[in-house]
Structure 1
């Protein structure tokens, strides 16, 4: 316990680089606009707001729909072309907003309960919405026509997400249902113990990540088998967000923390990002270098992801895996992040008692060199001598180890070689190390 306490004391707390204050109720959603300098947030206070990310100040007036000024906005999503926002509100309406004017373009009606989640198709032609009425609605983004009305059999739909190829839709309730995006037919059901509040699909479509109570789960979409667990939150995981290169995941929770995860190892990058209240939303910037979180206190917070990764020695996680050259020099490389090899002087008398007393050190060294060519003719030391030598070597390297921070850093490294382009092999030992490491963060 004392070692864990000392480690926490040695790790400085991470502070947000900007705080955006203005909403009067919880910040339910956030999106980054093209260019990387502006964000839009939505809130239970019924407004959307545009912010300058560099200064942390609001740009212009609140965005509000005159027809529903008091209807809280549960979720927002940005169109692939960056010109239109879709929002879901307490009044059951789905709204499209023009990003440049901050005005409502159109309203779609059809849900009988609050709209909890919205998502664009990758092609930008459709929008899916999830509602407290248990319906997932698929809309034509141009005409507003209802294309599909999926009765999910969830008591409430808390999260909806299109697959990267637009062929499937995932919905979160007391389980996760996977639907054919064209026909609305059920493809698969992924059982969970608690309500699923958040979903994320990797851009290659190979993984679906779910957030519920406690551990975050990772599923292989080819088999729908669970292949990974991110254990660290001890309350509801309200939002999850993938970095553009799929190597980082941000999660926010009612435990008043946000966490950044290394998806190469399924380990947390560092201790959680602390908030004063529940954390409702999260979004990475287009380059992955900034994370914005929205909180129950009405504020949005910007975090310097690059600085956080650099402090952990993991800034290479901002690069796509394919960016690592096949024959990159190890000298000065940030790809390995292995601790430098440090030479130590062998103490006097290290070999005393190991070699035969009739042999001098010089003769012994000559014998070792020559025996390399004649291994069967070499005079081997006795088993007692070998035992003594091995004990000394073990003791020598034991005292040469770096502190626990270096050991934690090594656990962050991928199990595969850094130059490998094949599938990652997960070993049982790595799973056990993960369990030990996560004890620090509970």
Structure 2
């Protein structure tokens, strides 16, 4: 089994904090998710997460006008410059201060960054496509200028369309105008007049008007004009026509949203659209300069944190951090382009669908979400549970999902119609903590933390079949054997029991352990059980003999990272570490384990050796990710992270304390995330074994063996030409190399020539060595040739070789090659229909010939012989036969004449046919 798993995508969370960005063409949306950046393709309905990770949560992101460079900055001012097309981090840089605003100039040469009260302008690092010499700079970040003058944090930076001036909006109630280079007759200007913090400031299309919006819902329009009511002629006569010209408020507007405050705003200069998001979850769309209200909609239960508009002005993107919501709204058609929301509480369990294309997650918020792995989107959310969902499990056959919850119910879901079709409850009110489903899908079992019994229901009737008593503590884990014969349960009474529930005597075999049982797992061959206990031990038991065969001490492997309140170092805190969730791999050779640690461990079952440790997070915003505590963060009152500074916030709504005293899992969802601890609550292997996923504090992490972009050595060869391709084909007879070179050039004529020149006997060998990066294109090309080319048997040999040699890859990447597989199936189906139709026509024709032969006495044996030849003769392929028959009818030949004349087939006409 391959163990080279790498991070490939992040699901379960779509937006955390910071600003959203549209790509220059408006088709991609960049969203900061914790310490990573997720990119949503709004046209193809897909998403992917960039591979880099910051040391803390991202606060601001910026994108160059060309869309090739992304600058992301975390809460400490640490920046990463990333190449978007290649998805490669290029440079790490520190601004040495908290970044509050970031904006690239439309020219793409400079960017402005707000560092609290200070504004700095930096040159954009050049790339080979923008540099005249085609070389990268040795010093990517060069400071151009520093501006000071604000008295509080800068919240927004906006550039003019010609990149000569930019505006800065601050919490000190003012907006300031700055120039990039010294301009004759221009001095930096402050626009003051708002009564609360300025949220945003923008230039109009002609740059003659400036719009500013403040937190209290006031929108001011500024113009460079003289004193209102003054006579221009008199001013010109006095000679002071320039002395009284300055930026003045020419119009005032107010949103009037009762007690709601303005949280964010965006302006699209080309269409004069102003979008405002409020603290009550409403957003409004207004047309400037008349301030005509176009639309108002409630899209969230909490405040909207950020809004942006794409370049064409058609799509609006909103982000709400408290509930983790991300929406893209098309205001003209009033429809959602994207509407996603992650779990706003910790995930408890996850499971792969039997086909490996979807992942189901269950969380403390009572929601069950189904995620599509290929697109990265949540396709359906179930909200029928009224309390936290603790377990989820698929039936082995069919699209049936079972979930257990603390509300005392076990529910069965139909994932075809997306509905709850069965609910199982106990005679008394219980809270179910674990669940298992029989492989046949006919029996479901659940364990409770209230009573120590295991309840078993029939899925068909919904009735309670039995209650298994024997444990003396809360039941923490359940698992059915893959063959469906046994049920194993784990409890806090330090025992695991094996139940034979389908036999007449429901015997229970207890397995004595040294600590409380956290999780149990059956090996796929049903011969071994793995048990994880609270003391960090992994023990393996033989099912037939009920004896322990081996064990692993996982405390050292799980240790790492310390919390703010820990009095010991990360190395000596190993006594408190254990694995809360364990799963076997598909082939049963490896065991995946995760718990209250930043590590996921992969063990070999046969050798009991740690194969690999995966670090799920390096985010210092979470507790348990750092190895050593910083002494400067320790105060007389304790760690600075635990000091409550909420009462010192400048805004009234930020000073309100909504938390419940002494509770870690209650109160406001955002407050529970403030000092979140890194942990893994669930792991699962993909049915194909090529990936695994883990439910963590930051979201649903997917690790895959083919996560990186596949390397093709021909990408680096500059000598690939049609002439060299034909030379490799005809002289060297290296058919594999010639075919790859032809696909690299992507010229249809050249690809077809190389394709038809490959001998049929070499097809399996060529396909076996063909790079997987081109398999989808080869499959589509062969399917098109099957529909167009007369060489039917030749194309079918190619299709069979592709399916035989690359079948597992096609099954694993079904979502990527779904279109190609449908094209190939359509081509084969059309070919089958043509052959059937042609065979039916020939049967009637041959029957007619035989009847004519029987009635004609003159022809006698000659006609019968010719008819027999017509029956035994097989055309090289149906289309060729139909062409031959068609040409004979055009010449006026009968079937007897056709049988008499010899059939001559050119050797070059039928390639690959014998």
Give the TM-score band, short-chain normalised: 0.5 to 0.7
**Distance change in 2, residues 1:268/1:183 (3 Å):** farther
Instruction: State the shift of 1:268 in Å.
Output: 9.6
**Distance change in 2, residues 1:82/1:57 (3 Å):** closer
Task: Indicate the residue corresponding to 2:405 in structure 1.
Answer: 43
Task: Indicate the residue corresponding to 1:125 in structure 2.
Answer: 485
CA–CA distance in structure 2, aligned partners of residues 336 and 191 of structure 1: 44
Task: Indicate the residue corresponding to 1:317 in structure 2.
Answer: none
Paired residue for 1:78, among 428, 433, 437?
Answer: 437
After superposition, the C-alpha distances for 1:252-278 in whole angstroms (9 at most, x for unaligned) are 13x15112221x36x799xxxxxxxxx
CA–CA distance in structure 1, aligned partners of residues 708 and 497 of structure 2: 35
Task: Indicate the residue corresponding to 1:439 in structure 2.
Answer: none
Task: Indicate the residue corresponding to 1:245 in structure 2.
Answer: 688
Instruction: State the shift of 1:95 in Å.
Output: 2.0
Instruction: State the shift of 1:167 in Å.
Output: 2.2
Q: Is the 8 A contact 1:76 1:118 kept in 2?
A: yes
CA–CA distance in structure 2, aligned partners of residues 54 and 145 of structure 1: 35
Instruction: State the shift of 1:20 in Å.
Output: 0.4
CA–CA distance in structure 1, aligned partners of residues 83 and 404 of structure 2: 34
User: Does 1:159 find its partner at 2:505?
Assistant: no
Stretches of structure 1 lacking an aligned partner (at least 5 in a row): 270-324, 339-417, 422-442
Structure having greater relative contact order (Cα 8 Å, sep ≥ 6) = 1
Q: Is the 8 A contact 2:397 2:441 kept in 1?
A: no
After superposition, the C-alpha distances for 1:19-70 in whole angstroms (9 at most, x for unaligned) are 000111111111223554331211011101122324543225x31011x3x2
User: Does 1:328 find its partner at 2:767?
Assistant: yes
Paired residue for 1:205, among 561, 581, 588?
Answer: 588
Q: Is the 8 A contact 2:453 2:467 kept in 1?
A: yes
User: Does 1:89 find its partner at 2:448?
Assistant: yes
User: Does 1:23 find its partner at 2:385?
Assistant: yes
Q: Is the 8 A contact 2:397 2:440 kept in 1?
A: no
**Distance change in 2, residues 1:53/1:223 (3 Å):** same
After superposition, the C-alpha distances for 1:308-340 in whole angstroms (9 at most, x for unaligned) are xxxxxxxxxxxxxxxxx87527779457799xx
**Distance change in 2, residues 1:73/1:203 (3 Å):** same
CA–CA distance in structure 2, aligned partners of residues 82 and 148 of structure 1: 24
Task: Indicate the residue corresponding to 1:261 in structure 2.
Answer: 703
Paired residue for 2:497, among 137, 141, 145?
Answer: 137
Aligned residue for 2:424, secondary structure, equals coil
Instruction: State the shift of 1:192 in Å.
Output: 2.0
Aligned residue for 1:158, secondary structure, equals strand
Highest CA radius of gyration, 1 or 2?
Answer: 2
CA–CA distance in structure 2, aligned partners of residues 185 and 127 of structure 1: 16
TM-score by length of 2: 0.28
Task: Indicate the residue corresponding to 1:408 in structure 2.
Answer: none
After superposition, the C-alpha distances for 1:100-159 in whole angstroms (9 at most, x for unaligned) are 2222211100011111111111221111100111110011121363342011112x1010
RMSD, matched Cα:
3.3
Stretches of structure 2 lacking an aligned partner (at least 5 in a row): 1-53, 55-60, 62-69, 73-80, 88-325, 327-339, 341-375, 556-576, 618-624, 626-677, 710-763, 778-804, 809-914
Aligned residue for 2:421, secondary structure, equals coil
User: Does 1:216 find its partner at 2:577?
Assistant: no
Question: Which deviates the most, 175-184 or 134-143?
Answer: 175-184
Instruction: State the shift of 1:89 in Å.
Output: 1.4
Instruction: State the shift of 1:94 in Å.
Output: 1.4
CA–CA distance in structure 2, aligned partners of residues 8 and 140 of structure 1: 58
Task: Indicate the residue corresponding to 2:844 in structure 1.
Answer: none
Q: Is the 8 A contact 1:18 1:53 kept in 2?
A: no
Q: Is the 8 A contact 1:65 1:103 kept in 2?
A: no
CA–CA distance in structure 2, aligned partners of residues 75 and 15 of structure 1: 27
Paired residue for 1:236, among 679, 687, 711?
Answer: 679
CA–CA distance in structure 2, aligned partners of residues 120 and 54 of structure 1: 25
Where does 1:33-432 land on structure 2 (aligned, <5 Å)? 33=395, 36-60=398-422, 62-66=423-427, 68=428, 70-90=429-449, 91-143=451-503, 145-154=506-515, 156-173=516-533, 174-193=536-555, 194-212=577-595, 213-233=597-617, 235-253=678-696, 255-262=697-704, 264=705, 327-328=766-767, 333-334=772-773
CA–CA distance in structure 1, aligned partners of residues 492 and 532 of structure 2: 11
**Distance change in 2, residues 1:71/1:36 (3 Å):** same
TM-score by length of 1: 0.57
CA–CA distance in structure 1, aligned partners of residues 396 and 82 of structure 2: 39
Instruction: State the shift of 1:184 in Å.
Output: 2.8
**Distance change in 2, residues 1:9/1:334 (3 Å):** closer
**Distance change in 2, residues 1:221/1:336 (3 Å):** farther
Task: Indicate the residue corresponding to 1:364 in structure 2.
Answer: none
Aligned residue for 1:24, secondary structure, equals coil
**Distance change in 2, residues 1:332/1:41 (3 Å):** same
Aligned residue for 1:328, secondary structure, equals helix
Q: Is the 8 A contact 1:95 1:106 kept in 2?
A: yes
CA–CA distance in structure 2, aligned partners of residues 337 and 258 of structure 1: 28
Task: Indicate the residue corresponding to 1:288 in structure 2.
Answer: none
Question: Which deviates the most, 190-199 or 327-336?
Answer: 327-336
Instruction: State the shift of 1:201 in Å.
Output: 1.0
Q: Is the 8 A contact 2:395 2:439 kept in 1?
A: no
CA–CA distance in structure 2, aligned partners of residues 335 and 145 of structure 1: 56
Aligned residue for 1:197, secondary structure, equals strand
**Distance change in 2, residues 1:83/1:334 (3 Å):** farther
Instruction: State the shift of 1:209 in Å.
Output: 1.1
Instruction: State the shift of 1:8 in Å.
Output: 11
